[in-house]
Amino acid sequence: MSKPKETKLVIAIPSKGRLKEACGEWFAARGVVLEQEAGSRGYRARFAGMPQIEVMLLSASEIANALLAGDVHLGITGEDLLREAAPELEGRLYLAAPMGFGFADVVVAVSRAWIDVSTMADLDDVCAAFAATHKKRLRVATKYAELTRSCFARNGIADYRIVPSAGATEGAPAAGTAEVIVDITTTGATLRDNGLKILDDGVILKSQATLAASLTAEWDADARAACEQLFAALNADYPALSAQL
Amino acid sequence: MSSFPYYGPADIDALNAQAVTLLKLFKAKGYDRQEPSVLQPAALFLDRSGEEIRRRTFTLTDPSGSDLALRPDLTIPIAKRVVESEPHFPARISYNGPVFRHESKGGKPVQFFQAGVELFGEPDKAKGDAEILTLAVEALRAAGCTDFTIRMGDLGLFGALVDALQLPAHWRSRLKRHFWRAGYVETLLDRIGHGDETSRLPQDEKDIAALLEAQGDAPLAGRTRAEVITRARAEAAEVLKLDGNVAGAITRLLDISAPIAQALADIRALLKTAGIHLDAGLAAVEARVALLQKLGVDRIEFNAHFGRSMEYYTGFVFELRSKDGVELAGGGRYDNLLELLGAFAPVTAVGCAIHTERLLATVKGAA
């Protein structure tokens, strides 16, 4: 990517919604002020008094990809999106610190009418019985294909298939496009409204906004110095992160 | 090795020459070659295979929107053909061609050649197992590889063991289903042994029906009302009790991985502890050992936990390894696959696939 000459470090933060607001508040509470860059249509910002750091405003899911591609050094986005984009973090991403906002759980949910199913072991039985009876695999609708795969593998479930879902995943069982869903929830109200329940051991990830570092970005001496300066201004210390870079 | 292999003139000639040798041997034993297309309808692999195969299958969409897949093996397309063409059984089929598998860890080739044989509809399972095992050994030798070891297991043995336990039917099928997963079966056994599975469902059928009605308009999501109620009743009725010593003995039995003589002695001792008789199953293992010894293969390891990551195996499983531990060939029995692919009656199936590029490299390395 092209960057202004003085830029030594790029950090990506969410460009819209609740995560954007919470991020802004988090920095403001530590005395670091975000200033929109003129003419950038809201895609770029700077921290006041830190010209060597560029702030990119990206959608929460793009931030995970930008970190993996090494386009940005640091990023703040949901842990769910980071882990979904990079099932194997080693050598690619370092999750430096949870931010204390943007809480949400990635969960396995089934219809409440499945009164005989309350655990992943039950779901495993039902998947196998479904394959034997209906001669096809039970479908799991989700936008978290990787998280679903690793969770189902941990629980020994093999007889299923993932149906990618772009939105309104909670409606899939009623619509008949999938039997089970893996989705994100904060209060569980949307799931309940759709006649669904979370399995007792069906919480795949307790996610929150997370500060992550790209291990594939170019971390030269200038970038590391700018990073240290940012952390000093935030009065934050991530020694484990510094050791990684 | 590159993810995208490139075969120079010498490489491809050597690989072809080896394939000719293998296919000639297969032909002499009654196995005629068939060649399914490289591109297959994606549903063939995605609907009937577990997620493990699906994860490793390359899929693409053609311009009209149909989902296609590059074949991750030749067994499934060949088995599908057998289901559709209903040949005279027993049917013997051989193949040789490239297969395609996604590797999550970089550096492994995404395409490689496999040569193999499949035997369908042989009613005498011991005879079928012996035929495929013999052919696998002969194939490696025909290609010039004489220094190899064999590792084998038997999913049927575990099934017989589970059947001998006093457990509810769905717990038995749960244990069998997970045999191939190291660690998980032990967790299940531990849970049964400690009896921590307590049902939260009402015992009475009327109460179960009422509970279902109380869920209002929650969707049945692909299952019938009867399916839900039947399973709920089975769950409510189940009392899980398995002597902790028996559960422990099975766990230790699953742990066995040793030269065959030692393994068999250990298995017998543990079965005695648990008070379980598996004479037929052990006799089948011994028959295979005797066959291998007759063939001059004496480095045999038995691994009680040896399933295969491809989930369709149901019985005898084996792999042949070079002296450096490289897996050259593998196979086994998969009696359920044809029914999953639409066969109306069970069709026995046993087969073997050879990783021909590794075999060639091993033979070259030894020369």
pLDDT value of residue B20: 98
Per the structure block, which two tokens stand in for A23? 């991020």
Q: What's B9-160+278-366's CATH class?
A: alpha beta
User: For A215-241, what is the mean pLDDT?
Assistant: 88
Instruction: Kindly state whether A133 is in contact with chain B, defined as any CB-CB distance less than 8 angstroms.
Output: yes
Per the structure block, which two tokens stand in for A178? 């999938």
pLDDT at A1 over 60: no
pTM, two decimal places = 0.70
User: For A103-111, what is the mean pLDDT?
Assistant: 96
Contact list in A for residue B227 (CB cut-off 8 A) is: 129, 133
Judge contact between A97 and A238, C-beta under 8 A: yes
Say if A9-102+209-244 and A104-207 have the same CATH topology.
Answer: yes
Hey, how many other C-beta atoms are within 10 angstroms of the C-beta on B214? 11
pLDDT at A26 over 80: yes
Q: What is the DSSP letter of B331?
A: E
Q: In a 3-state reduction of DSSP, which class is residue B310?
A: coil
Q: Which residues contact B79 (CB under 8 A, 6 or more apart)?
A: B118, B120, B337, B338, B341, B349
Strands across the sheet containing A180-185: A160-164, A138-142, A180-185, A104-111, A196-207
Contact list in B for residue A161 (CB cut-off 8 A) is: 46-47, 51, 54
Least confident interval from A45-49, A64-68, A186-190, B62-66: B62-66
pLDDT along chain B (367 residues), means of 10: 86 97 98 97 76 78 87 95 95 97 78 97 94 96 95 85 79 74 70 61 85 90 91 75 75 87 92 85 90 90 72 86 94 90 93 97 88
Instruction: Kindly state whether A115 is in contact with chain B, defined as any CB-CB distance less than 8 angstroms.
Output: yes
Q: Using CB atoms, which residue from B46, B170, B200 is nearest to A118?
A: B200
List of long-range contacts for B166-174, beta carbons under 8 Å, 24+ apart = B166/B241, B166/B242, B167/B192, B167/B240, B167/B242, B168/B234, B168/B238, B168/B240, B169/B234, B170/A125, B170/B231, B170/B234, B170/B238, B171/B238, B171/B240, B173/A125, B173/A128, B174/A121, B174/A124, B174/A125, B174/A128
Give per-residue pLDDT as tens, A37-47: 766 677 889 99
Q: Using CB atoms, which residue from A88, A149, A157 is nearest to B55?
A: A149
pLDDT at A217 over 90: yes
d(CA B36, CA A40): 55
Give the dihedral sign, CA B314/B183/B321/B21: positive
Q: What is the rounded end-to-end Cα distance, in angstroms, of chain B? A: 21
User: For A99-108, what is the mean pLDDT?
Assistant: 95
Per the structure block, which two tokens stand in for A134? 């209906």
Judge contact between B247 and B190, C-beta under 8 A: yes
A155-178 burial code (b ≥16 CB/10 A, e <16): bbbbbbbbbebeeebbbbbbeeeb
Task: Find the residue in B nearest to A110 (Cα).
Answer: B221
Cα B219 to Cα A170, A182, B96, distances in angstroms:
12, 16, 47
d(CA B167, CA B155): 19
Task: Find the residue in A nearest to B170 (Cα).
Answer: A125
ipTM: 0.79
pLDDT value of residue A143: 94
Q: What's A104-207's CATH class?
A: alpha beta
Q: Which helix (H) or strand (E) holds B312?
A: none
The percentage of residues in chain A with a pLDDT greater than 90, rounded to a whole number, is 62
Instruction: Kindly state whether A170 is in contact with chain B, defined as any CB-CB distance less than 8 angstroms.
Output: no
Query: What residues does A140 pair with on adjacent strands?
Result: A162, A180
Which superfamily does CATH assign the domain made up of A9-102+209-244 to? Answer: Periplasmic binding protein-like II (3.40.190.10)
pLDDT at A242 over 90: no
Q: Which stretches of chain B sit within 8 Å of chain A by CB?
A: 46-48, 50-52, 54-55, 104, 170, 173-174, 177-178, 181, 184, 200-201, 208, 211-212, 215-223, 227-228, 231-232, 235, 311, 340, 342
CA distance A144 to chain B (A): 14
CA distance A98 to chain B (A): 28
Task: Find the residue in B nearest to A151 (Cα).
Answer: B51
pLDDT value of residue B250: 79
Q: Using CB atoms, which residue from A87, A157, A173 is nearest to B221?
A: A173
Chain A to chain B, count of Cβ pairs less than 8 Å apart?
Answer: 105
Indicate the residue type of B322. Answer: S
Judge contact between A152 and A182, C-beta under 8 A: no
Cis peptide before B90 (omega within 30 of 0): yes
d(CA B75, CA B93): 10
Domain locations along chain B: 9-160+278-366, 165-197+241-256+265-275, 198-237
pLDDT value of residue A215: 93
Tokens 């409440």 locate to: A112
Instruction: Kindly state whether A149 is in contact with chain B, defined as any CB-CB distance less than 8 angstroms.
Output: yes
Q: Which residues contact A154 (CB under 8 A, 6 or more apart)?
A: none
Q: Which residues contact B86 (CB under 8 A, 6 or more apart)?
A: none
Query: What residues does A106 pair with on adjacent strands?
Result: A184, A205
| N residues, chain B | 367
CA distance A196 to chain B (A): 7
Would the CB atoms of B218 and A111 count as touching at under 8 Å? yes
pLDDT value of residue B311: 64
| N residues, chain A | 245
d(CA B136, CA B26): 10
Instruction: Kindly state whether A9 is in contact with chain B, defined as any CB-CB distance less than 8 angstroms.
Output: no
What pLDDT band is residue A98 in, cutting at 50, 70 and 90?
A: very high
> Cα B319 vs. chain centroid, distance in angstroms?
11
pLDDT value of residue B308: 47
Instruction: Kindly state whether A90 is in contact with chain B, defined as any CB-CB distance less than 8 angstroms.
Output: no
d(CA A157, CA A138): 11
Domain locations along chain A: 9-102+209-244, 104-207
Give per-residue pLDDT as tens, A140-181: 999 999 899 889 877 878 788 899 998 899 999 999 999 999
Task: Find the residue in A nearest to B51 (Cα).
Answer: A158
